[in-house]
Amino acid sequence: MRRLFSILTGLLLILSGIFGMMWLAQPPGSDSVFRALALRFWPVLVLALSAFFVLPPLLARDRPGLSGLFIPGMLILTTGGLLLLASLTGGWGFVWSRLWPLEVLALALAFLFMALCMHSIGLTVPAVILGFNGLALQLTALTGRWEAWAVLWILEPLAVGVALLVLNFKLRRQGLVIAGAILCGIAALSLLVLSFFFARRWWVIGLLGPALLVLLGGFCIIRALRAEPEPSAPPAIPEDLG
């Protein structure tokens, strides 16, 4: 681990020195191409910094306690990627106004990686909840239709319900199944009701309710077809009247 940190530190210092030389290299009487490149690619330093947090838990699988480094590592990695995209395209306003929910999704991935490294099914609960919210926030940020949260709030009980059902795969507790099914049922019922209210305003949302009914009907049919046939009752033995 010390060798890894030494290598990463050396690489970060080398990159910093290269960018410093590119910034200061300006021939007399001409525009500096190197300075322009340094202005464009400086977020690479942020990406390099994220390696200090992301690589140790990936390379030291025998030390699951290091997986906590995924949280700052994934956030720094995503921030560096957004900075680089904005710097290369010049669209600073677009990137940070439309793509900022990627930070929430990065945090969800961090919890998922922690769950895999630590073999802890409980860490999938915040991963699922943050993932659902991150996807919903990214959708509304890209479209600019923040009023869609009049329907998207359904993702909150749905995310918790799905997280509890995932948690049940490891713990095998009936209470988790009941609680998860109730929350998913509340989300499904709410979606079914709201789809009729918003059908005229957002036709896509209006289709979600009938689509949900189709999915539930198909699930019932598939479950019935895959169920094992019940054993037939043995024939009744007539009583001896003699």
Going by C-beta distance under 8 Å and a sequence separation of 6 or more, which residues neighbour residue 121? 115, 166, 167, 169, 170, 171
What confidence category does residue 15 fall into, taking pLDDT thresholds of 50, 70 and 90? confident
pLDDT in tens, 224-239: 676 665 555 555 555 5
The DSSP secondary structure of 81-146, one letter per residue, reads HHHHHHHHH--HHHHHHHSTTHHHHHHHHHHHHHHHHHT-GGGHHHHHHHHHHHHHHHHHHHH--G
In this predicted model, which residue has the larger pLDDT, 25 or 107? 107
% the chain with pLDDT above 70: 73
d(CA 96, CA 102) in angstroms, rounded, equals: 10
pTM metric for this prediction = 0.69
State how far Cα 207 lies from the chain centre. 25
Query: Beta-carbon neighbour count of residue 124 at 10 Å?
Result: 22
Residues 197 and 101: their CA atoms lie apart, in Å, by 28
Give the closest residue to 51 by CA, choosing from 70, 34, 32: 70
Q: Categorize the per-residue pLDDT at 27 as very low, low, confident or very high, splitting at 50, 70 and 90.
A: low
Residue 44 and residue 10: Cα distance in Å, rounded?
A: 15
Tokens standing for residue 110: 């961090």
The average pLDDT across 35-45 equals: 82
Q: Could you tell me which of 98, 101, 122 has the C-alpha nearest to residue 112?
A: 122
- Residue 133 confidence (pLDDT): 87
pLDDT in tens, 173-213: 777 778 777 777 777 777 666 666 655 555 555 555 566 55
* CA distance to 67, 77, 129, 215, per residue, from 72 (Å): 10, 8, 19, 39
Both tokens assigned to 17: 């020195």
Identify the residue with better confidence: 230 or 159.
159
DSSP state for residue 201 in the 8-state scheme: T
Residue 6: its pLDDT value, please?
A: 76
Taking only the tens place, the pLDDT of each residue in 95-108 is 888 999 999 999 99
Name the token pair of 179: 């609680």
C-alpha span between 204 and 193 (Å, rounded)? 14
Does 241 score more than 70 pLDDT?
A: no
